[in-house]
């Protein structure tokens, strides 16, 4: 029986009984619906018009059948059962007429019997059904109330699709750190015999999309143990004490299923630093965190339960949560390098119809900064593009187009631009590209220049760095050189049109942010020197703008602003000079863009009269 029908069986039975009762009542009252009086009946009997008289089983009515087969009902106003013969004699029917009548007493019909039974049974059933339904709902509400404090963790076992380390790429160092966790879950005895204390908690730290959740699933898949998964926000509810109760229930379930892994995603939702709130430190979230700290300390050395948590905001976590004995290990899961990106692409293209001539190394080099989630989305977009064009395999063209769509946004060919706007955009983008190509110290390769609107931009110039950017390779000369191509678009407008537009707003924001970081964080200012002024004293529950404290004086702030302005102005002057000296190449690239709308690396270098890379 379906669950929905089983839950509603009682209301269905009650409705059926009501319908049966109504039908029987209608049937019983519909018989002999035409009524006659006793005086009229006696006249008809004496006139020899009546054929038979049938008394009802209740004895309160008579059904009169005439010789013309007409049937009437006569109602007797008596409470007791009647004697038909005596009654008719009393009303004046002669004995001779009585002998001609067929007088009988009818048996009780089944419908009448059922109607009488239902008359007594139906109210009882209705009352009983009402109380039964009410009690069931109350019991359901009680179950929900009792289960309100239970953990909402989702358990995945061997029946679920297994994820192993073979499905994780681009984070070899993180996988190496987690191999010991898997080894402990598989063979805990060899660690315990040596007196080794196995990490109780592993904290995965990294930007969004780098594969922290996937790594946790891979640990469970490799160890072949139960895997409890939930989010940090699922602990805290409106009611006081629910979060702590759920923490207790979660750890009880974990101990019963040991060895197992408990994965808490976005633990910063419940693990924020205590004592900095506006509620006096006794709010529900802090009580939940306190219970979690107690439960993590309560594990014995023979309790094979490991807590794996993920966050991208480790700076706001409570220090008590990060100390040894709770989250013993902190594993960095950063964006992959070019080798890692190629490995990730191979994982995501596995099982997909990819052409044999596809070079994933080229795609990996063109996607600096992409995370594993970005690369998965890239491969999916390439598959969609191939299906849209009716192809049966994913080729290099589709992957290249997917990179541009993910990195630059979709093309907006429907946006109407006047010839003047196209010309301004062409010279703006040509300025970016020419400056980057003529400055090898930027270490940027122009991948595409287009005046087709993408996203919110009227045109796009796309670079790919020759080497991976990191703090070690981020030198002062390199940063100052990269400011020049960013400002070259605005400089080109000023050189060609002797005017500027607001199209460089995003360029100016990026340049200013880089210059400010050079002065405040990197110590790349002659006036300020090797001093960092980027300290931010924040209260974790307040907004950054409200709570940010400045650790330097107004005089230093003026010096910082002056240095930032000097760096930006030097870069802009250098961009103007570079484009003025190469005006012919600037014009040639702009005219090529107006003609073709987009230039790939080969076409761009051909217009620039440069050797192909």
Catalytic residues: 429
Which residues fall within 8 angstroms of residue 20, CB to CB, at 6 or more apart?
114, 118
What sections of 233-283 are H helices per DSSP?
242-256
Question: ∠148-153-157 over CA atoms, to 5°?
Answer: 140
What's the rounded Cα separation, in Å, for the pair 155 and 226?
A: 7
**Closest of 491, 495, 506, 499 to residue 454, by C-alpha:** 506
| Beta-carbon contacts of residue 27 (< 8 Å; ≥ 6 apart) | 111
- Helix (H) or strand (E) run with residue 446 in it: strand 444-450
Rounded distance between C-alpha atoms, residue 588 and residue 431, angstroms: 11
Task: Determine whether 428 is exposed, middle or buried from the number of CB atoms within 10 Å of its CB (0-12, 13-18, 19+).
Answer: buried
Contact 122, 221 (CB under 8 A): no
Q: Which residues pair with residue 446 across a beta bridge? A: 463
| Residue 221, SS3 per DSSP | helix
CB 51 within 8 Å of CB 149: no
What does the DSSP assignment read for 345-394? HHHHHTTS-B-TT--HHHHHHT-TT--HHHHHHHHHHHHHHHHHTT-SSB
Name the strand (E) or helix (H) holding 180: helix 172-186
By DSSP bridging, strand 444-450 and strand 598-599 are antiparallel
Distance, in Å, from the CA atom of 1 to the CA atom of 207, rounded to the nearest integer, reads: 50
3-state secondary structure of 154: strand
Longest dimension (CA), the chain: 142
What's the CA gap between 99 and 63, in Å, rounded? Answer: 18
Q: Where are the alpha helices (DSSP H) in 521-553?
A: 544-547
Tell me 507's DSSP state. H
Q: In whole angstroms, what is the distance from residue 502 CA to residue 73 CA?
A: 99
User: What's the token pair of residue 464?
Assistant: 């790919």
Q: Are strands 71-75 and 201-205 parallel, antiparallel or unpaired?
A: unpaired
Strand ordering across the sheet containing 598-599: 460-465, 444-450, 598-599
**Distance separating alpha carbons of residues 251 and 509, to the nearest angstrom:** 48
Rounded CA separation 534/210 (Å): 26
Token pair 């073709």 is found at 596
Q: Tokens 């093309």 sit at which residue?
A: 411
Sort strands 227-231 and 154-156 into parallel, antiparallel or unpaired.
Answer: antiparallel
Choose among 116, 112, 97, 95: nearest CA to 27. 112
Categorise residue 293: left if φ over 0, alpha if ψ from -120 to 50, beta otherwise.
Answer: alpha
């Amino acid at each position: 029986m379906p669950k929905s029908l089983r839950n509603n069986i009682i209301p269905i039975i009650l409705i059926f009984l009501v319908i049966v009762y109504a039908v029987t009542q209608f049937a019983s009252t519909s018989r002999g619906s035409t009524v006659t009086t006793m005086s009229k009946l006696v006249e008809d009997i004496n006139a020899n018009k009546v054929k038979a008289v049938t008394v009802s089983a209740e004895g309160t009515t008579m059904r009169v059948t005439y010789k013309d087969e007409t049937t009437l009902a006569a109602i007797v106003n008596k409470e007791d059962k009647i004697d038909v013969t005596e009654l008719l004699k009393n009303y004046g029917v002669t004995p001779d007429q009585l002998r001609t009548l067929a007088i009988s007493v009818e048996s009780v019909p089944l419908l009448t019997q059922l109607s009488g039974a239902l008359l007594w049974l139906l109210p009882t059933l209705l009352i009983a059904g009402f109380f039964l339904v009410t009690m069931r709902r109350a019991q359901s509400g009680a179950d929900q109330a009792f289960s309100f404090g239970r953990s909402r963790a989702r358990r995945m076992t061997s029946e679920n699709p297994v994820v192993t380390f073979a499905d994780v790429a681009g984070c070899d160092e993180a996988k190496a750190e987690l191999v010991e966790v898997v080894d402990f879950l598989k063979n805990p005895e060899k660690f315990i015999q040596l007196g080794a204390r196995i990490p109780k908690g592993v904290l995965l730290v990294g930007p969004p999309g780098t594969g922290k959740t996937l790594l946790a699933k891979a640990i469970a898949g490799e160890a072949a143990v139960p895997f409890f998964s939930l989010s940090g926000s699922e602990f805290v509810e409106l009611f006081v004490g629910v979060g702590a109760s759920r923490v207790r229930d979660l750890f009880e379930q974990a101990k019963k299923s040991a060895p197992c892994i408990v994965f808490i995603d976005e633990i910063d939702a419940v693990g924020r630093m205590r004592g900095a709130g506006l509620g006096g430190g006794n709010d529900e979230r802090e009580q939940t965190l306190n219970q979690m700290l107690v439960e993590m300390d309560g594990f014995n050395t023979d309790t094979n339960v490991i807590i794996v948590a993920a966050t991208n905001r480790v700076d706001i976590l409570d220090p008590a949560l990060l100390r040894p004995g709770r989250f013993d290990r902190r594993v960095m899961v950063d964006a992959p390098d070019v080798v890692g990106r190629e490995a990730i692409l191979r994982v995501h293209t596995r099982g997909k119809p990819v052409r044999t001539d596809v070079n994933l190394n080229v795609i990996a080099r063109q996607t600096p900064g992409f995370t594993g989630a970005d690369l998965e989305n890239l491969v999916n977009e390439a598959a969609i593009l191939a299906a849209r064009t009716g192809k049966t395999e994913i080729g290099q063209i589709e992957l290249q187009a997917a990179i541009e769509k993910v990195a630059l946004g979709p093309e907006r060919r429907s946006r109407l631009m006047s010839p003047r706007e196209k010309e301004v955009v062409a010279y703006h983008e040509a300025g970016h590209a020419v400056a980057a190509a003529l400055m090898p110290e930027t270490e940027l390769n122009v991948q595409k220049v287009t005046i087709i609107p993408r996203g919110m931009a009227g045109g796009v110039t796309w670079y790919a760095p020759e080497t991976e950017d990191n703090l070690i390779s981020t030198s002062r000369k390199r940063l100052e050189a990269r400011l020049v191509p960013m400002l070259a678009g605005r400089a080109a407008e000023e050189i060609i049109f002797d005017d500027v537009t607001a199209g460089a707003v995003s360029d100016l924001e990026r340049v200013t942010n880089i210059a400010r970081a050079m002065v405040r964080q990197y110590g790349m200012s002659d006036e300020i020197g090797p001093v960092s002024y980027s300290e931010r004293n924040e209260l974790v529950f307040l907004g950054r703008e409200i709570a940010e404290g400045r650790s330097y004086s107004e005089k230093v702030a003026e010096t910082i602003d002056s240095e930032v302005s000097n760096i930006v102005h030097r870069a802009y002057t250098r961009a103007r000079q570079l484009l003025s000296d190469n005006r012919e190449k600037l014009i040639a690239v702009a005219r090529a863009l107006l003609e073709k709308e987009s230039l790939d690396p080969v076409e761009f270098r051909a217009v620039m009269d440069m050797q192909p890379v």
